[in-house]
Chains A and B, each alone.
Chain A
Amino acid sequence: MIFHEWSLIFFTVLAQTAVGGYLLVSANALISRHDEEKINSYKIPMFVLWALMGIGFMFSTLHLGSPLRAFNAFNRLGAAWLSNEVFFGAAFFAVGGLQWLLSVLNKGGLMAQKVLTIVAMLLGAIFMYAMIKVYMINTVPTWFNVYTPLSFLMTMVVAGLLLYQWIKVSADDDNAALHRYIVLIAIVAVAISVVVTLGKANLMGEIQTSITSASALVDGLANYLLLQVALLMLGLFIWAQPLISGKAVKPLNLALALVLVLTSELIGRGLFYSLHMTSGLPKF
């Protein structure tokens, strides 16, 4: 089984999806100079984004042995990346959530919403950087390599892009040109994602200590990798399907594609945690 760290698997994948989606929706809103009414029209699909983020945080606390002491996680802010991750994640959630609330209530004025959006984008970006640094531990050779930032980034790009498109369609703010661009980017992003997955699998074959071989850590590693890539390709196919057949893009279509892509990402993240090993003796 590769899902023993299920709480962290869900937390990291959902957070990367939500931040990726938020960065795109917000950049779009800023560049296209959305007014308050326009931002307000996004409120329902944006609620789904924040719900995903909220569920992610719930999973992250479930991971703790002593969840009632969760606030101690801030103790080493600035000194430990895990503290930074929790802090900037919570700050992203709070500031972005506040902006959403203002947009729902039509309060605060456009300027305040813009400022909050930009702050939340910055916090989200730092949150993602901290999440990568949490796993860049030099005593863990299977994590301490370029594939940790690359795979985390590709989850953000692929799942974030799909969430972004779903939000645009659900908010009735889409057009054919937008869909064409997104699907083109998606094809390139999925191709890079597959290359990253295979490159990582290749590197795992080379990592070995006196006691542990990375490639022997997961029973049926090749099958999981195959399933991960197959689900991603199937997701991409359903994602691009309306464009291929010349039909209208429906939220349900994209939601189904998102479920497939997220399942693929969850398997990939399951493998990531299952491939944990140290440079010396095995973890207890």
Chain B
Amino acid sequence: MKQLGFYIDSSKCTGCKTCQLACKDYRDLDVKRSYRRIYEYTGGGFVQDGDTWIQNDVFAYYLSIACNHCTHPACVQACPSGAMHKRDDNGLVLVDEDICIGCQHCANACPYGAPQFDKTRGIMTKCDGCIQRLSEGKQPMCVESCPLRALEFGDMSELREKYGLTADVAPLPPSSQTLPNIVIKLNKNSKPTGDTTGFLVNPKEV
């Protein structure tokens, strides 16, 4: 079975948010919804050495996260209407907007913040991997917009062969929970999953 997914190069990402805005513009999202979001994880501090303060272990890095089209999607498991479903042919996790009742239980379950409620239409919406663009032979909007070329999209078996298997890094949840279809190239500052030495710098932007 084919499974599409994302490659995220956190070593290149500068947190410019072009991907987030390109997606927002293309999908015409309101202020609150962002199918792709940039999480800035920061921590560490300075130590005093006599009269000077020395940079000790200050760190910061960015993770650009949309829907990871998980192999075991928590959102699909929670959904009572079957609107949230995983496609057999390409592994994308999509909302059938004609069935969704807007109970938002998928958003309770997803540990990546992917399902996002459209208040005006009363239904759940999310990243669909730009399935329309894919059918036209194009790449998703976020991937094409990235000025750092830090995002890729494609068949997971190829992406994993090329870039490895890493899907665990703070502040993401343990990948064993939902088996997300992402490969991450770690930033040199990366902290392991479960790390509590840092914090989210931009809570209002995600």
Contacts and interface: CB of A to CB of B under 8 A. Distances in A.
Interface of A: 63-67, 69-70, 72-76, 80, 82-83, 86, 134, 137-140, 208-211, 276, 278-284
A73 B194 contact: no
B172 A284 contact: no
Nearest to A80: B80
B196 A210 contact: yes
B80 A282 contact: no
A139 B111 contact: yes
Contact of B107 (A208, A280, A283): A283
A76, A279, A281: residue with the most chain B Cβ atoms closer than 10 Å: A281
Contacts of A209: 171, 173, 194, 196
Describe B's contact surface by its main secondary structure: loop
A233 B193 CA distance: 42
Contacts of A134: 105
Interface of B: 32-33, 37, 39, 41, 65, 74, 77-83, 99-105, 107-113, 115-119, 121-124, 170-174, 177-178, 191, 193-196, 198-200, 203, 206
A140 B78 CA distance: 12
Contacts of A280: 111-113, 171-173
Interface centre among B37, B41, B104, B193 (most CB of A within 10 A): B104
Contact of B99 (A67, A69, A137): A69
Given A75-B99, A276-B108, 16 more contacts: A64-B103, A65-B101, A65-B102, A70-B101, A72-B80, A72-B100, A75-B80, A76-B81, A138-B177, A210-B194, A211-B171, A278-B109, A278-B110, A280-B112, A282-B203, A284-B107
Contact of B173 (A72, A74, A279): A279
Contacts of B123: 65-66
Contacts of A284: 32-33, 107, 113, 115-117
A210 B83 contact: no
Contacts of B104: 65
Contacts of B203: 211, 282
30 contacts: A64-B101, A64-B103, A65-B121, A65-B123, A66-B100, A69-B81, A72-B83, A73-B81, A73-B103, A75-B99, A76-B80, A76-B82, A80-B77, A82-B78, A137-B78, A137-B108, A138-B177, A139-B173, A140-B108, A209-B194, A209-B196, A210-B191, A210-B195, A210-B200, A211-B199, A211-B200, A280-B113, A281-B171, A283-B107, A284-B116
Contacts of A66: 100-102, 122-123
B80 A279 contact: no
A15 to B, nearest CB: 16
Nearest to A134: B105
Contacts of B191: 210
A253 B108 CA distance: 39
Contacts of B119: 65
A208 B199 CA distance: 11
Closest 6 A/B residue pairs (Cβ) = A65-B102, A280-B173, A65-B122, A210-B171, A280-B111, A82-B80
A278 B74 CA distance: 11
Contacts of B199: 210-211
Nearest to B199: A211
A65 B198 contact: no
Contacts of A83: 80
A134 B196 CA distance: 29
B122 A64 contact: yes
Contacts of B82: 72, 75-76
B103 A82 contact: yes
Most A Cβ at <10 Å: residue of B100, B121, B173, B200: B173
B81 A210 contact: no
Nearest to A208: B196
| Chain B CB within 10 Å, residue with most, of A65, A80, A210, A211 | A210
B172 A281 contact: yes
B80 A139 contact: no
Contacts of B109: 137, 139-140, 278
A209 B78 CA distance: 22
Most chain B beta-carbon neighbours within 10 Å: one of A66, A69, A278? A66
Contact of A210 (B41, B80, B121): B41
A70 B100 CA distance: 9
B172 A283 contact: no
A280 to B, nearest CB: 3
Contacts of A282: 113, 200, 203, 206
Nearest to A73: B80
